[in-house]
């Protein structure tokens, strides 16, 4: 029983360490992890997973519509996370999805 409680406590702490909230802009809702300043100050593995999932979701939708694969140019998760660090250090008030949209646009230009 104590082992189950420890696992439950760990899972709860992990969930609470990554604030995710809904934000409605431009007629649609996104689930976000704060702003770029938060990314730079308190990045967690869960936040990194959110970033990679957001980008993967974009890729899936675009591929379904056009068979384009801009993410094919990226060879590692570390490249995406390094881009996030660079973008966010220049734009700390922006949201992470703005950083990923900017990355997406750069990848489309080189396709």
pLDDT at 31: 62
Query: What residue ranges do the domains of the chain occupy?
Result: 34-109
How confident is residue 64, by pLDDT bands cut at 50, 70 and 90? confident
pLDDT tens, residue by residue, 27-60: 545 566 788 999 999 888 988 999 999 998 888 8
How many alpha carbons lie under 13 Å from residue 5 in its C-beta half-sphere? Answer: 2
pLDDT at 36: 93
pLDDT at 85: 97
pLDDT at 60: 84
DSSP 29: E
Q: Give the separation between CA 70 and CA 107, rounded to whole angstroms.
A: 6
pLDDT top residue among 2 and 101: 101
Q: Give the separation between CA 28 and CA 40, rounded to whole angstroms.
A: 26
Q: Give the separation between CA 102 and CA 84, rounded to whole angstroms.
A: 10
């Amino acid at each position: 029983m104590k082992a189950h409680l420890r696992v439950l406590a760990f899972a709860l702490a992990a969930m609470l360490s990554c604030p995710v909230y809904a934000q409605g802009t431009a007629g649609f809702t996104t689930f976000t992890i704060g702003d770029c300043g938060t990314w730079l100050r308190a990045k967690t593995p869960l936040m990194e997973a959110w970033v990679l999932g957001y980008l993967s979701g974009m890729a899936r939708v675009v591929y379904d519509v056009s068979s384009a694969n801009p993410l094919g140019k990226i060879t590692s998760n570390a490249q995406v996370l390094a881009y996030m660090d660079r973008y966010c250090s220049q734009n700390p008030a922006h949201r992470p999805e703005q950083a990923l949209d900017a990355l997406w646009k750069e990848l489309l230009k080189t396709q």
